[in-house]
Amino acid sequence: MPEEHKIRVVLAKLGLDGHDRGIKVVARILRDAGIEVIYLGLRQTTESIVSAAEQEDADAIGLSMHNAGHLVLAPAMMAALDDADLDIPLIIGGIVPDVDVPVLQAAGVAAILGPGAPADEVVAAVRNAVAAAAT
Amino acid sequence: MSVRSLPPDELVDAARSGNRRAIGRLLTLVERGGAVADAITDLTHPLIGGAHVVGITGAPGAGKSTLTGQLTRILPEMGLTPAVLAVDPSSPLSGGAILGDRVRMDGVAGEEVFIRSVATRGHAGGLALSVPGAVRVFDAVGFDPVIIETVGVGQVEVDVVGAADTAVVVVNPGWGDAVQANKAGLLEVADVFVINKADRPGANDTRRDLELMLDLSHMSGQEDESGYRPPIIMTTATDGSGVSNVWDAVQAHRAHLDATGKLAERRAARLRYEVANRVDAALGARITAALDGYDLDPDRSPAAHAENVVGLITLS
């Protein structure tokens, strides 16, 4: 009996950033859309996220950033994924000023979700990023 | 070519040479089930080396993940290479899940430890159907022990007994009284008891209740005929107190299994259980197929219908 392939997403906060309300909301939105969320929690490193993504065979990685560190942290995460030869899409959520969006896109971030993004937009961003990576 | 798209036999080779992405991929494919999962089971079964499988179960919030995380810290120091299957529930409504066991193992499990989060995907009983296949992958790759952490269970979810060599049941101070301790279910199947959060008031009362329950098992002749009595270990998993005693107790239980020949018995029962589950699933599909083409006349008795449908299945 062919079952649809469940999407598995690793969610984490990278670095020193304790604002985890948003990421918990996102975890719940994804769960309610039938997605399996592997939740790593606060104060993760690029190494711990790469390691978890490998072990969990993640289809996507979602990082929440509320500490204005995204211009450093997002490219650092992309570099860590490249170093590990992991072709997994990275999605950033949180406070990213409009002017920084093209910068992150140029760095290879698959999608950027701002404050107030509706649930269906969050789910669509994950599904689209996973579908694009599979082709 | 990405590791993720390798065929099963090359994935198994890559996994056995230490490629963690390949191990992760094999676990995904086993979890999805179907022909590919069966092929992986065929490939990995001859490679298993008899890893000791430890089940850790207990109520939600009892400290299973924290205890598991602490175990994964001390085991590598003993030269062991543990792998963990951490099971959390799937939503019965959406099929999605939030798998949060890694949060409690954060910074505890070292790089050499492999942790995989598993959703139950609709299976009751405290485990996921894919657990035996995933344990087999870990064993074939060379991990030993394999620790299975169940979902938070109540009183009757005892699947872990069918899946593990040693069942560790985690309880907390204030969880119940002597009557609770003597109800049937989870407590009957423990090989090792852990009273976690033992720094809290009531730990000694809980210990007394459990000891009394074990005394009654002895009186009623339910005790293991070789006289094995499950030890009760006190822990505070958040700071690691008592955790090494838990491992000592698991080792002692393993020695008991080896000495009495019960290990082979348990593993034979485990194989039978897994095969029964597979047969069950295969027959379930045939039942559905038979019913799809069957005219359910509401004026006839359900018993007569069932007999007819059984006839259709055995004929096919």
- pLDDT value at position B104? 85
Interface predicted TM-score of the whole assembly (ipTM), two decimals: 0.93
The answer as to whether B220 is a domain residue is yes
CATH of the domain at A60: 3.40.50.280
Whether B36 and B71 share a structural domain: no
- pLDDT value at position A37? 97
Give the one of B4, B94, B115 whose C-beta lies nearest to A32's C-beta: B94
Whether B154 and B230 share a structural domain: yes
The answer as to whether A42 is a domain residue is yes
B35 contact partners, CB below 8 Å, separation of at least 6: none
Alpha carbons B154 and B180: distance in angstroms, whole number: 12
More confident residue, A87 or A2: A87
Whether B11 and B71 share a structural domain: no
Tell me the two tokens of residue B75: 């085991």
B178 contact partners, CB below 8 Å, separation of at least 6: B209, B212, B213
The answer as to whether A24 is a domain residue is yes
- pLDDT value at position B157? 67
Whether B167 and B276 share a structural domain: no
Sign for the CA dihedral angle at B193, B198, B200, B205 comes to positive
Task: Give the structural domain span for A84.
Answer: 8-134
The answer as to whether B13 is a domain residue is yes
The answer as to whether B264 is a domain residue is no
Alpha carbons B188 and B205: distance in angstroms, whole number: 19
Biggest CA–CA distance in chain B, Å, is 69
Whether B205 and B228 share a structural domain: yes
Compute the nearest-CA separation of B93 from chain A (Å).
8
Whether B215 and B130 share a structural domain: yes
B 80-139 residues with CB < 8 A to A: 90-91, 93-100, 102-103, 106, 111, 114-117, 119, 121
- Burial class of A24 by CB neighbour count within 10 A (0 to 12, 13 to 18, 19+): middle
- pLDDT value at position A117? 94
| Interface contact flag, A55 B23, Cβ < 8 Å | yes
Whether B89 and B231 share a structural domain: yes
The residue among B47, B62, B85 that closes a domain is: B47
Phi/psi of residue B217, nearest 5 degrees: -60, -40
Q: What is the pTM of this model?
A: 0.91
Alpha carbons B224 and B156: distance in angstroms, whole number: 21
* Local confidence pLDDT in tens for the 316 residues of chain B: 588 889 999 999 999 999 999 999 999 999 999 899 999 999 999 999 889 999 999 888 999 999 999 999 999 999 999 999 999 988 888 999 999 989 888 766 556 899 999 998 877 777 888 899 999 999 999 999 999 999 887 666 667 778 899 999 999 998 766 666 666 567 778 999 999 999 999 999 999 989 988 888 877 776 677 779 999 999 999 999 999 999 999 999 999 999 999 999 999 988 998 898 888 888 888 898 899 989 999 999 999 999 999 988 876 5
Enumerate the H helices of chain B as residue ranges. Answer: 8-16, 20-32, 34-44, 64-74, 101-105, 131-141, 159-163, 178-182, 203-219, 243-260, 262-292, 302-315
Whether B143 and B235 share a structural domain: yes
Note the Cα B157 to chain centre separation in Å.
11
Tell me the two tokens of residue B135: 């344990």
- pLDDT value at position A4? 64
Q: What is the mean pLDDT of residues A6-29?
A: 95
Whether B238 and B290 share a structural domain: no
Q: What is the mean pLDDT of residues A38-45?
A: 95
Eight-class DSSP state of B208: H
The answer as to whether B267 is a domain residue is no
DSSP B92-128: TTTS-EEE-HHHHHTTTS-TT-EEEEEE-TT--SSS-
Phi/psi of residue B257, nearest 5 degrees: -60, -45
- pLDDT value at position B153? 78
At A48-76, the pLDDT tens digits run 999 999 999 999 999 999 999 999 999 99
The answer as to whether A94 is a domain residue is yes
Alpha carbons B85 and B159: distance in angstroms, whole number: 14
Give the one of B96, B106, B116 whose C-beta lies nearest to A31's C-beta: B96
CATH of the domain at B228: 3.40.50.300
Residue A1, number of CB atoms within 10 A of its CB: 8
The answer as to whether A44 is a domain residue is yes
Eight-class DSSP state of B281: H
Whether B218 and B293 share a structural domain: no
Whether B20 and B60 share a structural domain: no
Compute the nearest-CA separation of B74 from chain A (Å).
19
| Interface contact flag, B28 A51, Cβ < 8 Å | no
- Burial class of B99 by CB neighbour count within 10 A (0 to 12, 13 to 18, 19+): buried
Residue at token pair 């993760």: A44
Task: Give the structural domain span for B245.
Answer: 49-259
Whether B147 and B164 share a structural domain: yes
**Across A40-44, A95-99, B101-105, least confident range:** B101-105
Compute the nearest-CA separation of B107 from chain A (Å).
9
DSSP 3-state of B14 = helix
For chain B, what is the domain count?
Answer: 3
pLDDT band at A1 (very low <50, low <70, confident <90, very high): very low
Supply the mean pLDDT for chain A: 94
CA distances from B171 to B124, B137, B220 (A): 21, 30, 23
Interface residues from chain A to B (CB-CB < 8 Å): 1-3, 5-6, 8, 27-28, 30-41, 44, 48, 51-52, 54-57, 86-87
The answer as to whether B138 is a domain residue is yes
For chain A, what is the domain count?
Answer: 1
